[in-house]
Amino acid sequence: MGKVTVGVTIVCAAAVCAAATLIVRHRMKSSGRWTKAMSILKEFEEKCATPIGKLRQVADAMTVEMHAGLASEGGSKLKMLISYVDNLPTGDEHGLFYALDLGGTNFRVLRVQLGGKDGRVVKQEFTEVSIPPELMTATSSELFDFIAKELARFIATEGEGFFLPPGSQRELGFTFSFPVKQLSIASGTLIRWTKGFSIDDAVDKDVVGELTKALNRQGIDMRVAALVNDTIGTLAGGKYFNNDVAAAVILGTGTNAAYVERAHAIPKWHGLLPKSGEMVINMEWGNFRSSHLPVTEYDQALDQESLNVGEQIFEKIISGMYLGDIVRRVLCKMAEDAEFFGDVVPPKLRTQFILRTPEMSAMHHDTSQDLRVVGSKLKDIFGISSTPLKTRKVVKELCNIVATRGARLSAAGILGILKKMGKDTVKEGEKQRTVIAMDGGLFEHYTEFSSCLESTLNELLGDEVAHTVVIEHANDGSGIGAALLAASHSQYPEVEESL
């Protein structure tokens, strides 16, 4: 019996030893995976670094490109488009004005009764209409006829509190958020459609002309007084409520900036200088690029797989459409090279844009002890369940790295604009206040992003100048901004002056 016992003991000992070896190997493998994953994270963090010195270089490069874009057409990746808006609202505007805001699959129609300095916005109403999908690929006349019919329906509900001076024509501001070559304050040809629209016979046509023909077909007596993009609408809306507004930035799905330039500082402007001596410039700053931008392998891959390779590089690093996908790409690399989520790479990790920036924001803002929001998002979006806390912490940190880079580079871009305007220093004896109107879902809803942007801008400006620069949220600036630009470019004053 004793021999049998010894044999059993030896076999058991061998089994325990083998199991222990497997555990050690698993731990070593697991430790190796973790080390590899951490090295990927650390390398990414280093490549995304935005020390103040680098941000100053980005700001200087932005200013240089602004000068180049103003000097000649095609002189810079920054288009620096002349908007023909030379009169921003002052607050004196009176009367009834309409706005049409076409920016995607919905459009908004708005009317506003303006009462001058005392009354300001006396009353406003709006309606939102979805565009039937088939009209997004139909003909120009079919699309604009649909819009004009809805506009006619809205005009018919004009009730108490709205007054049109006798003998006057209704006037409209048209926010058209597609690439347009502006020809005057109230005309511009469509360069190309985006956002799912594809109407070939509208390309190279004057969009105001197309809308006006549709209005006439509906028997609507209305003049399009201003054609603007959403950034310029935001600037106009901001200026109306605060005279210190000098620039506008949109940080949403995409990004752009506009500001007020001195007309004589635009070498490519060959027309008569406007009476105001000023001109609003639509920067199209999403297309900014510089060797100083911290671009990683993940950004390069995202660009290569995009519909506009080599374009909108700044936008692809800082705007809401792309931030979540950058996070996804790093997580995918960790899963492939370090088995970060186990032996098999979760298939959904390879799906472009599956991680949207609002979900990334929710993970970044997770303050629960066990980071349960991070855990549930990983499960719901990627099908990755039961993640340990240390894995969730890495995911949250990754969101932080991507958002911080975007926010700090946005601040550097704003500094570039302030430098161009000469507002980055305090002039002795001058009471100075510069307000930047900000709009867009990224700025409005991603708190970690917006607070980082503001603190970085303050750091770049220094205490003294930071006190003179204010960022204000201009909610829905583009809609009311278009109506206000119709008012500031109205034919009413001309009619009154000629009487």
**Active-site residue among 177, 361, 488, 490?**
177
Q: Measured over all CA atoms, what is the biggest interatomic distance in the chain, rounded to whole angstroms? A: 126
**Active-site residue among 206, 230, 325, 424?**
230
CB count in 10 Å sphere of residue 131 = 18
> 13: number of CA atoms within 13 Å, CB side?
6
Residue 177 bears catalytic tag: yes
**Active-site residue among 25, 192, 217, 262?**
192
- CA torsion angle 234 240 244 247 (round to 10): 20
Q: Six-digit token pair at 182? A: 């502006």
Give which of 218, 204, 107 is closest to 155, Cα–Cα: 218
Residue 230 bears catalytic tag: yes
Q: Which residues are catalytic?
A: 177, 192, 230
